[in-house]
Chains A and B, each alone.
Chain A
Amino acid sequence: DSGVTQTPKHLITATGQRVTLRCSPRSGDLSVYWYQQSLDQGLQFLIQYYNGEERAKGNILERFSAQQFPDLHSELNLSSLELGDSALYFCASGNSGGDTQYFGPGTRLTVL
């Protein structure tokens, strides 16, 4: 158990819909990273937050957004969903030293 929690574990929805994925980092970690894992693209970095502020952006679509709240939990919002958005979405948390990232169990999103 990495100490990073993600909910829900599975999500099935239809094209055009909007979903929210939630992540709670390890106690004491200020950084949250979101990654997408798909069969064709592999593991891709989406976005990073540090202590409530956006720190870095990767291959994140404009339909996707995220935020980190004062209690440090983070949410990833995916809207106008397409079939190709079906993937595993991972959250990772990192310490202030920035040397390690611990991953949550992931949320499997299926868009029908």
Chain B
Amino acid sequence: GEDVEQSLFLSVREGDSSVINCTYTDSSSTYLYWYKQEPGAGLQLLTYIFSNMDMKQDQRLTVLLNKKDKHLSLRIADTQTGDSAIYFCAERGQAGTALIFGKGTTLSVSS
């Protein structure tokens, strides 16, 4: 069945780069997503990538997709304390269908 795996924790120092990794199993996934959840808040869509792309950059965020290995990563450059949150990777198969989420990676940024 469909499954999305992420490491549970990542700790970095302010100013460093953070890389959050995700693997998925559904080779028919059309879109892959990164969401951010701050304490007590909802899920904020950070960025997403279509499955025919290898890379997408959006300001401090870079998404890399290796479709062969079904591996997705999110790199946050110059990580700030305000980036501390839980980051969820999600995949979606056909257009308009539900998202399958990983368990989330808690990013802790120390000053």
Interface residues of A (CB under 8 A from B): 2, 31, 33, 35, 42-43, 45, 48, 50, 55-56, 58, 90, 92, 94, 97-106
Contact = CB atoms under 8 A, between A and B. Distances in A.
A2 B50 CA distance: 21
A85 B96 CA distance: 27
B96 A55 contact: yes
B96 A45 contact: no
A45 B100 contact: yes
Contacts of B41: 105
Contact of B44 (A2, A31, A45, A56): A2
B102 to A, nearest CB: 8
Best-surrounded residue of A99, A100, A105 (most CB of chain B within 10 A): A99
A31 B96 contact: yes
Contacts of A56: 97-98
Contacts of B104: 42-43
A97 B50 CA distance: 13
A104 B41 CA distance: 9
Contacts of A101: 45, 99
B55 interface: no
Contacts of B75: none
Contacts of A94: 96
Nearest to A47: B98
B77 interface: no
Contact of A2 (B42, B95, B101, B102): B42
